[in-house]
Every structure is written in C-alpha cells, then in structure tokens.
Chains A and B, each alone.
Chain A
C-alpha cells in the first residue's frame, strides 16, 4: 500500500483510487474525447458543404463517420456523465468512497488506454470504416481488412471491460454503502438515474461484450460468425441492438438525473410526482430491453414481431411523457433562477421534447420504413442523446464550484449557452429539413445543399461554443472568486453540506439520515474494536448485534486506515492495452501451420512486432494481476449502511454476484448466437461435432470439482490448512483434467477429422465449426482463468493465508460453480443434439 501524494504531484494522479480524483480524471478525459469526436464531426460537415466537394476520400469519410459515432457515444457521453457519478454518487449517498476503489481506478485506466488504442488505430492502415453500428458482414476483415479496424474493435472491447468493472462497482456501492436512514426511495434523483443506468449497463454492456468477443474472434482468430449467410448479419443486428437500444437510455439517464436535480435547485421546488418519476425510470429501464427490433423494421422480421415491437416502442414513450411533464410542473410556483446550469438543463428539456416527438414518428412502422437510413434518424438521435448531454454541461457548471472551490464566470457561461443553443439547432434542425438525404453519404441531392451548408455553419458555431466553456473554466480555476461550500440558494443534496472541494475522506463524522435529515454523528470506537453507534453522550449503544456489525468484526484488518493509492490499476490496464495492441495485428503477422500431426505444428512469424507486444502484454497482465491480488489494500465497508434489498450480503460477495449476473448475459448471448445460427442453418442439419463421451466425462469432472471447492471452503472455516491445500489442489487437478480432455478432443477434431474454426472437410459446415470452437473455447478460457485464481489461492494458502478470513475462497467458489453450470448448458447443445 502506497501513500497518496498531494494533488500537485503527477504521481498522485497515476496511483489515486479516490472517487473524487477519478471523477476529475474521467471528466477531463471525456472532454478531450469531445474535442476528438468534434474535430471528426467538423471534417464530416466540411465534406457536406458541397455535394461534389471532397475533403476526404470515400474511405476516410467512412472512417471519420465511424470514429465520430464511436467516440461520442462510448468515449464521451457516458464517461463524461460517469465523471460526475464518480464524484457525486458517493457524496449523495453518504459514502466514503465507491465500494471497490482500486476497481474504480482500473475502470478509468481501461477507459483511457482503450481510447489511446482507438487513436492508434488511425495509424494502423486506417481505423474501422463500418459505421458505429458496425453492421455485419462489413465488419469482418474481408470487407474492412485494415489492422486499424481490428484495433478499433479491440479498443471497444477494452472499453467495455472497463465499463463492466465500473457497473459492478456502482451497483455494489449504491446497494451497499448508503448512509444510515437513506432508503432507496430517499436517494437524490441524480443517484437514482445513475442506479437505473448501471442496472441497464450490467445487462446491455454484457451483450456488447459478447458481441465484441465474437467479432474479435472473427477478426483475430478467423471464425466466420458474421460472414455466415446462415443469419450472420441478422445475428449482429439482434445482439448489437439488444445492447444498442438500452444504450440510448444509458447515455440519456445521467443527463436526465442532472435535469431533475437542477430543476429543483434552481426553482426552489421539490420534484412533482417524485414516486411516479422513480417508477417511470424503473419501467423504462426494464422496457428498454424489449424494443430493440424497432431498429430492424426493414429486415426480414415478420409482421407479428414487428407489431409487438411497435407496441413496446410506444409503451416506452409513455413513461417519458410523465418525466417531461414532471419536470415542467416542478417549475410552477417556483423562484426560477436563470443561472448557466439551469439554462443548460432547461435547454436540454426543450431539445429533448423535440427529440421525443420526432421519435414517435419513427415508432410508426410505415414512417420508419422511409426514415430508416436517412438524416431524420441522424437528427432524431442527436436531439435525444446530445440534447440530453446538454444537461450534462449544465451539470459541469453546477458542480464546478464544488469540484474546484472556485466560482465560474456567469456571463461567459450564459454566452456559452446562447452560442451552443443556436449552433445546436442550426446543425441538427437543418437535418430534419434535409431528411431525405441518406445517412453517411457525401454525394447527396444538390437540392439539399442549402440546408447542409446551414448545418455546417451551425456545427462550427457549436464547436466554437465549447472554447468559451474551456476558457471560462480555466480562467475561473486560476483566478475565480471562492465559491464557498454552498453557492446555490436551494440546493438539498449532501455534497453541498461539506467544504469545496471536499476533504479526501469526505465527511467530518459519520453521515446519517436516521433522524430524517443529514447529521454527522460521532461513533464510539472502543480500543481494538470496530466502531459502534454512540448515543448523545458518546456512549456506546448496543443494538443487539445487528448482522452488519458481525461483518465488521469478521474483517481482520478493521483497525487499519483506508487505502487511497495503488499503482496496479494503471499497470494492469497498460498491460491489457499492450496485449490488445499486439492482438490487433496478430492475424496479419503470423501464419499457423497445423500440418498432419501435432509435431508438424508451426507458427511462422512474418512480423515480430505484434506477436511480441501480445506476449509482453499477457505476461504483464498476469504479473500485475498477481501483485494486485497480493497487495494489502484496505477499503472498509461502511459500517451502518442502508442496503435493501441486499441486507446481510457482504460487499465483495455482492460485487461477485453482480459480476456473475453480467457473465450470465455474456454466455447467454453466446448460446443464443449458437441457437440462432443453427436455427437459420436448419436445426436438424447439424450433427454434434465432437463425440459425446469425452463431453460426458468432462461434465463429471467439472461437477466433482464443484464439490472439492466446497470442501476447500469448509477447510478454511475450520482453519485446517492441509485440508484447504488438498481441496484447492484437487480442484486444480480436476480443472487440468478437464482441459486435458478438451485438448484431446480438439486435437482429434483438427488432426483426425480436419475440422478447424473455418476450414472443414465435406459434410461439415464452416459456421458450425466456428460456433463449436468459439463457444466451448470461451468456456475453456473461463476454466483457465479460474485455474489461475486457484493457483494464486494455493500459493497464498501454502503461506498461511485464509485461516482467519476465508472469503476469497468462498468467492472463487461462486465463480467456479458458475463456470460449471455454464458447462451443463453447453454439454447438451454441442455434444448431444
């Protein structure tokens, strides 16, 4: 555990795990990507100035369009919002930090390095040029052969890994670390919107992770999912939009949360119909997973399903109506202060109303048939997603005084808003007027030239407006007046109750809402024991041993000071980035020769750079992961928290459950992909590729290993070191047996039957081979990952760990059981039927 250097030191920003530091890092990095994506947008607008004008070649234009979409949706919108979420969700719920501070730092560094990978991809023979929707099969190397295309796909994959870690972290924090007396319904609206967002992210990003893995497999290993005519294109459509539609709300909800906060703060009124607003938010989060096929109305989906999707689409627009009206009615009878933050939030509402109304047009299928692939869609989603993000800029002004302690310049802020609002409508409303232009073309009907030129002028105005904001923030940070703790008249939430900026550990004493309002209570800390609640005189209160205090007592390191610094998140992310950079060119720099037997297997390295990077990155990853696990990092759970509905579930266990839930979706997507492809190929036309006997043996091997993991936990509880070592050892042995049987099975397929990923003899189909190898391969990777963790546990147990605290063994057990259960689903699908 390292000490945390002061904020003036560069080292501080590399090792910090504090949620406020990371919030600042997220915000600044996201603004950088706003500039990156913005420059690409301006290039696009320049190309559209004249239908015959060519600033860029067709390929470069497509790259600009693709990268603009990817950067704005993934690397700007969500991370910008999560900068604020990082900073303010723990403050709003009365927590000291997020549940897993190192994991939070890891998420940030994964985000940053994934963005670096995306930047590098421009110089790897050109980045991806298949649009941000990456429709198949344009997304496979046959049609987008550049190394940079693979680089961009892997960058997205890395980004999603970071998002998954962040999702688990926020879910655990909000469900586990709320201050005493703050029930779920009592949470501030910004925190509510983030909670709904991360619940959607847990499932939506898992689907994207799965589809990204399959695409990476197609691009790096050479499987043929998305080029398969047996439904490969539609498979991409379904999986992508199953993620893609919730994603719209994932980027919009944090902005909605900011609007809900700001409308209250700057009108002095409380939210109208608060309960119904929360119910609407929850409804939308669920419904968002039931509408994805409205992005595919023109494909070969049948009328019945289209009708169902139309109904669910209309259904999801209704809670939004309620949200909009709640916002409007909140203002009535208020004392509305037209500060810069409120102007942005108010502007966002107006833009969102327009975006919502034009969205209803798209819900009517006949209209959608015509709008599909046109600027109507482009204009609509910019009004919704970027219109929503307008509120996030309001959030930036709103929280700037809290984050820096300085007040921004109100006049410049208002100028920014006016220029922004005019520019915004010039660029995006002109798109409605020129809606018949097909998306992503630059040789358009000259009749629309006037509109597109107006849009280009608006785009430059919009871009310029941000420099007013940057100047304002920079100037105010250096020489602005002190903001004080609470510069706003009608703020309510807890971040305004502490100094600006808040101290490292946030609170003067333990925050509590037990009395109905925020109070800082002093706990009684007996010598050599955890804190207990104190009464007014400072004496310990015994409340009959509530379950959570038990957890605290079981924590062996309770008397330590919380840690705030670790170097391993950045190193682990760096290693991942290097490995993925290597993988992006791996396929182009190596050739595998299988020969007729294993002894003839050889790898020809055409270019050593990429394979070297891959190996270095992988070794670094394992090393950093090991050091991470061995680091003595103390992040205590909050002691008297509200945690409905997960009372009595320990923090790390809760995180593990959330992680496994997302992994269920990953495997669910892989299994759905296998079923979907097989259905399209004709279900009965496939015979299982492998023999059923080795699969059956492996089923027994894995089930037995689930049993030995339980034995390990029992041994840990009994503090029986030999028993612990023996049962972990047995689990590892069974795991290796499983892999050995698997290896034999693959060897037989490759060398006896000649079946490999995409090369198959007569009687097999290439896509079937791909599905078999990739799906069971993903499971094998999970087994290998589990074995690495088991080895780590074994070595640590040998050195005497886990005798006092057996929880790592228990959590490894959860993971291992999950991997075994997945096999129970894969076995019949690939070995029996």
Chain B
C-alpha cells in the first residue's frame, strides 16, 4: 500500500508520506541491526558463561554476604564507555538526520502559492467539519484537488481529538481553543492510479468519548479541473451549511457552565 503512494510532485515536492517512509526505513534498518547485534551478543555471553557445574576459574572472586559493594573496574569499564560512545553516536546521528527532514515537514513544500488551499478542520463528537475559504462547509468528507498543497488548520469545538490519515502520513491534534497546522498533497498520478478519484481514510487518534472508534472521515482527491467544478458548485448551496455551523458553534461554548 505504501509503495503505491508515489507522491513525488513534478516540482520536486515530497509528500509527508514519502519523508516518513524514508526515515522509518532508516530507523527500522539500523534499529533491527543494533537490536540483533546487542541481543545476540547478550545471549551468547549468557550461554558462554553459564554455570556448568565445573570448578570456578582462578580469577573468579565470589562475593560474600555482607560485603560493601565495590563494583568492577578495569578493562570491562573501558569497554562500557566504548559501547556507550558508539551507541551515542548512532542515536545522535539518527536524530540529527531526522531533524533535517523535520524542518521540511514543518515548513511544507515551497510553492508559488497558486492553487494552495487552506481548510479549517473542526472536530466534534464524533465527526469532522471542513470549512473552505469560500465559506462552504463539508462534514466528514474532505474534497480536495490533486497536485496542490492542502494546508489544514485543525481545531475542535468540544473535546481533544486528533485528525489524521495513516495512508497520507499526516496528523494534527484537534484541541478546543487551539489551532494546529499541518499539510498534505496528493499527486494526480496517484489519483489516476485509483481510477480518477482517490480516497483516503481519516481517523481520530485521541480518545474522545463513546463514539471514538467509529469517528472516521474521508479525504477525496479529484483532478484539478473536476475539483474546481465541484468547488464552484458549492457556492450555491451555502446557506444551509452556514446555519448548521452557527448552531454547532453555539453548542461548542458550554465550557463556562
């Protein structure tokens, strides 16, 4: 599934999913390597130095009850620092490497601003409302164009939710009184590959009440021209949605009771 999401854009953008997959792969490879080496080394030593019932070696200095602890120094302590140093280098270089990519994810791809769209996502028990720049509101299904950078401003009108899509590898906390920002983009190739209309599952990643498990939404990605056509059409049926939003907002401000 992940492999099919080649979201590379013509202008050299990288989607969050791609960045994540790269870092995840590097961490997984190194983590597995380190884990296997350390665990194998531990097991091997545990086996090698098992008590086989034979006579203790000459340099074996058995502890006695009531001694004040001294600990071991010598060559082992040097080895301790060597291993510690090595592990520190691995961990720190991994994180420095990942940090470079974090800056990209935080900023988002550089665009000329044309075609970008910012949508306000408001979580509620148990669904999502999307407010488009033109004032149109959708519930649960987010319809966006391909090949554009979609900026999300995520908030909540009741409790703490988390808006995210595992397939697109983005997530943002949805907190009352706060606005968190994230972005995503889907290439037209991907939309083509899914048959002219790509859909992605949205889930809530923070426990928010009895309906948390089923708090799913959907992102629908249309080719640019189709989306524009759809967006034009939203202007006409605006009024009903606006009324809904007002009512909901009224409910959302009950914190002061």
Q: Which residues does A use to contact B, with CB under 8 Å?
A: 57-59, 61-62, 65, 129-131, 135-138, 142-143, 181-182, 186, 188-189, 224, 227-234, 264, 267-277, 296, 298-300, 303, 307, 310, 314, 317-318, 321-322, 324-326, 328-338, 346, 349-350, 353-354, 357-358, 360-361, 363-367, 369-370, 372-374, 436, 438-445, 486, 489-494, 496-497, 513, 516-519, 680, 758, 766-767
Contact = CB atoms under 8 A, between A and B. Distances in A.
A315 B238 CA distance: 53
A321 to B, nearest CB: 4
B245 interface: no
B133 interface: no
A560 B256 CA distance: 59
Residue of B79, B83, B177 ringed by the most chain A CB atoms within 10 A? B177
A268 B69 CA distance: 13
Residue of B203, B210, B255 ringed by the most chain A CB atoms within 10 A? B255
Contacts of B70: 270, 274
Contacts of A766: 256
Contacts of B254: 142, 227
B117 interface: no
A298 B173 contact: yes
Contacts of B34: 357
Nearest to B53: A335
B207 A135 contact: yes
A127 B35 CA distance: 40
Interface in B233-257: 253-257
A65 B207 contact: yes
Could you say which interface size class chain B belongs to? 35 or more
21 contacts: A129-B210, A138-B207, A138-B209, A229-B177, A272-B80, A273-B76, A274-B70, A276-B77, A298-B173, A335-B51, A353-B42, A358-B31, A364-B98, A365-B98, A365-B102, A366-B19, A367-B27, A438-B205, A440-B212, A490-B63, A491-B65
Nearest to A331: B45
Nearest to A266: B51
Interface stretch (B140-148, B159-167, B188-196, B220-228): B159-167
Contacts of A438: 203-205
Interface of B: 19-20, 23-24, 27, 31, 34-35, 38-39, 41-42, 45-46, 49-51, 56-57, 59-60, 62-73, 76-77, 79-81, 83-84, 87-88, 91-92, 94-95, 98-99, 101-102, 105-106, 125, 158-160, 162, 164, 166, 169-173, 175-180, 201, 203-214, 253-257
B67 A492 contact: yes
Contacts of A59: 210
Residue of A129, A354, A361 ringed by the most chain B CB atoms within 10 A? A361
A764 B84 CA distance: 57
A366 B159 contact: no
B80 A443 contact: no
B181 to A, nearest CB: 8
State the main secondary structure of chain B at its contact with A: mixed
B164 to A, nearest CB: 7
B164 A373 contact: yes
B246 to A, nearest CB: 18
Nearest to B159: A138
A272 B65 contact: no
B178 A300 contact: yes
A733 to B, nearest CB: 40
A353 B210 contact: no
Contacts of B95: 310, 314, 360, 363-364
Contact of A361 (B31, B203, B211): B31
Contacts of B68: 181-182, 186, 513, 516-517
Given A65-B207, A357-B35, A369-B105, A328 B19 contact: no
Contacts of B63: 264, 268, 270, 490-492
B120 to A, nearest CB: 14
Residue of A229, A233, A234, A336 ringed by the most chain B CB atoms within 10 A? A229
Nearest to A236: B160
A232 B207 CA distance: 17
A722 B212 CA distance: 67
Contacts of B101: 366
Nearest to B156: A233
A165 to B, nearest CB: 30
A369 B180 CA distance: 13
B176 A137 contact: yes
Given A233-B178, A270-B72, A438-B204, A322 B80 contact: yes
Contact of A329 (B20, B76, B166, B180): B76
Given A439-B205, A491-B63, 9 more contacts: A58-B214, A137-B176, A138-B207, A138-B209, A298-B180, A299-B175, A321-B87, A335-B60, A360-B95
B99 to A, nearest CB: 7
A298 B106 CA distance: 11
A229 B176 contact: yes
A-B pairs with the 6 shortest C-beta distances? A274-B71, A373-B205, A518-B66, A229-B177, A227-B255, A364-B98
Contact of A268 (B60, B87, B125, B171): B60
Residue of B166, B180, B205, B208 ringed by the most chain A CB atoms within 10 A? B205
Nearest to A303: B106
Contacts of A334: 49
A279 to B, nearest CB: 12
A608 B87 CA distance: 63
A106 B81 CA distance: 44
Contacts of A224: 255-257
A227 B253 CA distance: 9
Contact of B160 (A62, A189, A233, A490): A233
A325 B84 contact: yes
A367 B91 contact: no
A492 to B, nearest CB: 5
Contacts of A314: 91-92, 95
A547 B209 CA distance: 60
A349 B46 CA distance: 12
A338 B48 CA distance: 12
Contact of B171 (A303, A363, A370): A370
B171 A373 contact: yes
A261 to B, nearest CB: 10
A369 B66 CA distance: 51
Nearest to B21: A370
Contacts of B92: 314
A142 B67 CA distance: 60
A490 B62 contact: yes
A525 B12 CA distance: 87
A138 B213 contact: no
B49 A336 contact: yes
A742 B247 CA distance: 42
A364 B60 contact: no
A765 to B, nearest CB: 8
A321 B88 contact: yes
A492 B66 contact: yes
Nearest to A225: B255
Contacts of B176: 137, 229, 232-233
A349 B38 CA distance: 11
A203 to B, nearest CB: 26
Given A321-B88, A364-B94, A374-B205, A333 B49 contact: yes
Contacts of B207: 62, 65, 130-131, 135, 138, 439-440
